[in-house]
Chains A and B, each alone.
Chain A
Amino acid sequence: MDYSRSEMMTVAAARALKNDDVCFVGIGLPSAACNLARLLHAPDITLIYESGTIGAKPHVLPLSIGDPELCETALTTVSVPETFAYWLQGGRISVGFLGAAQIDRFGNINSTVVGSYQTPTVRLPGAGGAPEIATLCGEVFVIIPHTRRSFVPTVDFITSFGYGTGGDHRKRLGIHTAGPSLVVTDLGLLRPDPETKELVVVSIHAGATVEEIRQQTGWEVRFASHVEQTPPPDDTELAALRGLVGRSARSAESTV
């Protein structure tokens, strides 16, 4: 079956999730990937959205982080202060799944401003739950289309801390979680170097090239000594993803 790069990205992201994960889910691409995983190999995964919906099993993808679909399909819905205090801060989340506007070579994420904070060129929506998701979840996965504008050497503003300037920067700040251990793009997968924490390409998606990844990365990106090739989406994966996206679109059209 033919597939788009965006579908490859979502499928690759879904594959990274495990059946026993407790996942704090960002809206948009992360939510699509998490629910795809739930429909495929991770039927028992616990999805928590920051609206307080714990164990949400949406039949259609929510447009917002607090759509009725999330509450109606959740095991329980708690208040937002409880979500952040007991469930996130309490250390009960294994994976935080985030999107981003910009990411840098050390996995720091910007979703606040392009340009200076006081006189921004572009004012982005801001942090939401991301800063604490980035430091309090066991590890963080990031999903972001691979472009030179989004993959920058240093972000203009650190909204969510990755590895700072690299090495043991997290530890020095008293952060004991793993941080952004996986970045999924529409061209490949990146993981932090074990020592320097610089993001390194570890897998290239079928159809993408080394040259393309170099061109679309705003720094001189390094490749692992053994770069894998990401298997293309199989028919089961594609059918599940298209089913999910299709019924979500139909549901959006029929909204009252």
Chain B
Amino acid sequence: MGGRRVARFLSLPEAIAHYVHDGDTVAMEGFTHLIPFAAAHEVIRQGRRDLTLVRMTPDLIYDQLIGMGCARRLVFSWGGNPGVGSLHRFRDAVEHGWPRPLELEEHSHAGIAHAYAAGAAGLPCAIFRGYLGTDLAGANPRIRFLECPFTGERLAAIPAIRPDVSIVHAQRADRAGNVLIEGIIGVQKEAVLAAARAVVTVEETVDDLRLASPNAVVLPNWTVDAIVEAPGGARPSYAHGYYGRDNTFYTAWDAISRDRDTFLAWMRENVLAAGPASRAGGGA
């Protein structure tokens, strides 16, 4: 992996321009919590194409990227609007190829979680109890099975996830670029450690991370390439200790995204025509 890198503080446009390229495999993680919406909107504004998007729960963030034609392929395990219903842009891409066809690599949550952990551990694959009896194994050729060499138990194996770049949002970084993540921590640590490059947007930069415990989840500055100060950058999802989840926007997204023209108009007004400091959706 080479010598020690140290995180640089960049603006959002600089970080995305520098670290996210056309054709990359990109993981934007955050399990309901700390979803890096501001960074995704910058990816959309910069017009990235042919991305392979990896995420356990594509959520509104990937619905927007898919609907704007940024994605060629999606690696995922649950593609819905949590508690509301369908992701209409995702469905339109899968069912009708709009705005372009979307290849799917579909897993279970356990599969993707284990595959990120394997990526973080530098392993080629994840081995775990999974996928028994499900048709997912027939639909996804990357789901294989092997026998435990010690017990003979039939276990699932899938390739480790090794993104070109992972993007996560966190509560805060100190001046040296060390990052604190707390609350529902999802797979963010694993996604960052599994990736070749990592961009972290934060609510604020502080002198002291104010760690509540010696076991707090901290990403040392040499595991991250770029830190971007982006207050409100997880809206309309939430940042534990900073602001709540905008469930009203999640519900409203159903109507905004159902129709292609309504969706495009919303994206033009709230994302394309807006600057990197805007927080589209979620009362910023």
Binding site for B on A (CB under 8 A): 27-28, 50-53, 62-68, 70-71, 77-81, 83-85, 88-89, 112, 117, 120-132, 134-136, 157-161, 164, 169-170, 173-175, 252, 255-256
Contacts and interface: CB of A to CB of B under 8 A. Distances in A.
27 contacts: A50-B109, A51-B33, A52-B184, A52-B186, A62-B83, A63-B245, A63-B247, A64-B82, A64-B245, A64-B247, A68-B240, A80-B187, A81-B190, A89-B110, A112-B106, A117-B139, A123-B86, A125-B86, A126-B78, A127-B109, A129-B109, A158-B133, A158-B134, A158-B135, A174-B132, A175-B132, A252-B248
B108 A129 contact: yes
A35 to B, nearest CB: 14
Contacts of A28: 83
B108 A132 contact: yes
Nearest to B32: A66
Contacts of B109: 50, 80, 84, 127-129, 132
Contacts of B130: 89, 131-132
B110 A117 contact: no
B78 A64 contact: no
A123 B88 CA distance: 10
A134 B187 CA distance: 22
A127 B104 CA distance: 13
B146 to A, nearest CB: 13
A14 to B, nearest CB: 20
B80 interface: yes
A128 B240 CA distance: 23
B117 interface: yes
Interface stretch (B2-10, B89-97, B203-211, B269-277): B89-97
Interface in B158-192: 183-187, 189-190
Interface centre among A83, A134, A136, A255 (most CB of B within 10 A): A255
Contacts of B244: 68, 255-256
Nearest to B87: A125
B106 A80 contact: no
B250 A161 contact: no
A64 B31 CA distance: 10
B36 interface: no
Contacts, number: 186
Contact of A126 (B77, B83, B95): B77
Contacts of A71: 33, 183-184, 240
A63 B247 CA distance: 7
Interface centre among A67, A127, A128 (most CB of B within 10 A): A127
A174 B153 contact: yes
A28 B90 CA distance: 21
B97 to A, nearest CB: 11
B151 to A, nearest CB: 11
B67 interface: no
Nearest to B249: A255
A67 B57 CA distance: 14
Given A53-B184, A71-B240, A120-B94, A125 B136 contact: no
Contacts of A161: 132-134
Contact of A64 (B133, B183, B250): B250
Contacts of B57: 128
A79 B133 contact: no
